[in-house]
Amino acid sequence: MGQTGVVTDLTWILIVVAALVLVGLVVGAVSLTSGRRRRGPSATLPPVDVSPYEVDQPPAEGATATATATAPPVEEATPPAPTLERPEPVAGRMQRLRARLAGSGRVGQTLLSILSRGDLTESDWEEIEETLLLADVGIGPTTELMDTLRTRTKVLGTTDPETVRGVLREELLKLVDPAMDRTLHVGPVVGDDGEPHPATVLVVGVNGTGKTTTVGKLARVLVAEDHDVVLGAADTFRAAAADQLSTWGARVGVEVVRSDREGADPAAVAFDAVKHGREIGADVVMVDTAGRLQNKAGLMDELGKIKRVMSRQAPVREVLLVLDATTGQNGMRQAQVFAEVVDVTGIVLTKLDGTAKGGIVVAVQRELGVPVKFVGLGEGPDDLAPFEPEEFVDALLA
């Protein structure tokens, strides 16, 4: 009985231990299953979208509040409008010429030096004549001027320097001819079709006279006078010319019509420029052309074609010939040929402030019968002025 009792006790102990182990296993299994149900598969958690350009949405499970906050849309910065330059008023520009001419050709200083000697001798008269010739006044005008000076001083019975100077001024002013029409004819005109058209201006000249720069400066003159201007870049042989003209136009808010193709037909560009000017109601369309030598027949014929094509859109009111004042009498033949091809209506003398002698004004007007309308006074953007005969003569004799 004793042994039987011990066995029985051990059996029960083993049964209890086994039962406890079994219960522990069951409880562990249940806990593991419950935990998996609460967590779910981590690989399938949706990503949190934090794009600031999406509309507001409820936060995803497990995401923080800042992850779904919507930032305001980022607006692109609008570039500031370019500041347009305000061209200098045209009135009074010519007054700058006195000091600049006095420092270049020194015509006035030489003449005053001769006149200050007292009663003039034959040698003095010859020196005055030589001074005028060196100033590019030309042989014909100089001979006429000297004859008049001698006659008038003889009639007055004096060779007093101040009297001679006064007579010289009067006679030079007559040669420059204040009666010439120096108006730049711009502003809308009525064509043969009865419709309003912009005034068209064709600008011509040889290479190196500063033609494109002159067109840019003329645009500033017109803008200063409150004209609506369109520029045509018909110098298609030099890409730099169109770029240069575009820069001039952009500075004062003037549109420039140009071709995207180098070597394009310049007449077509001129046509498009005038057409565009008509469409937007511009006052003036000014067309720049390529520089050409006067002895190149093909290029000169092309110039005539440009003018004819422009005329199909609007009457050509002005043909301005740009001359380099420093070339003196050498520029006269150039002027003659251009005048024959395109009926020049006005002259623009550039570089008059440099080594120019000034007398070229008299010579070119006498030769062509065409007025000098503008003169270049320097390299600044507003160093172009309408020609004023009295101011010019006073500057020449200063």
Annotated binding residue 206 = yes
Q: Is 40 annotated as a binding residue?
A: no
Q: Is 20 left (phi over 0), alpha (psi -120 to 50) or beta?
A: alpha
The number of C-alpha atoms within 13 Å of 116 and in the hemisphere containing its C-beta is 6
Flag whether 136 is marked binding: no
Q: Is 214 annotated as a binding residue?
A: no
How, if at all, do strands 316-324 and 199-204 pair? parallel
352 marked as part of a ligand binding site: yes
Instruction: With H, G, I as helix, E, B as strand and everything else as coil, classify residue 10.
Output: helix
Tell me: is residue 163 an annotated ligand-binding position.
no
- The one-letter amino acid at 356: A
**Is 351 assigned a ligand-binding role in the annotation?**
yes
Is 232 one of the annotated binding-site residues?
Answer: no
**Annotation-wise, does 249 bind a ligand?**
no
Known binder of ligand: residue 383? no
Say if residue 159 carries a ligand binding annotation.
no
Helix residue ranges per DSSP H, the chain: 2-39, 97-102, 107-115, 122-134, 139-156, 161-176, 211-224, 239-252, 266-280, 297-311, 331-342, 360-368, 389-396
Q: Is 70 annotated as a binding residue?
A: no
Residue 81 annotated as lining a ligand binding site:
no
Whether residue 291 is annotated as binding a ligand: the answer is yes
Q: Which of 216, 221, 277 is nearest to 247 (CA)?
A: 216
> Per the annotation, does 304 bind a ligand?
no
Please provide the size of the chain in residues.
398
373 is in an annotated binding site: no
Task: Please indicate if the annotation marks 152 as binding a ligand.
Answer: no
Q: Which residues of 255-270 are buried (b: 16+ CB within 10 A; e: fewer)?
A: bbbbbeeeeebbbebb
Q: Binding site for GTP: residue ranges?
A: 205-212, 288-292, 350-353
Q: Binding site: residue ranges?
A: 205-212, 288-292, 350-353
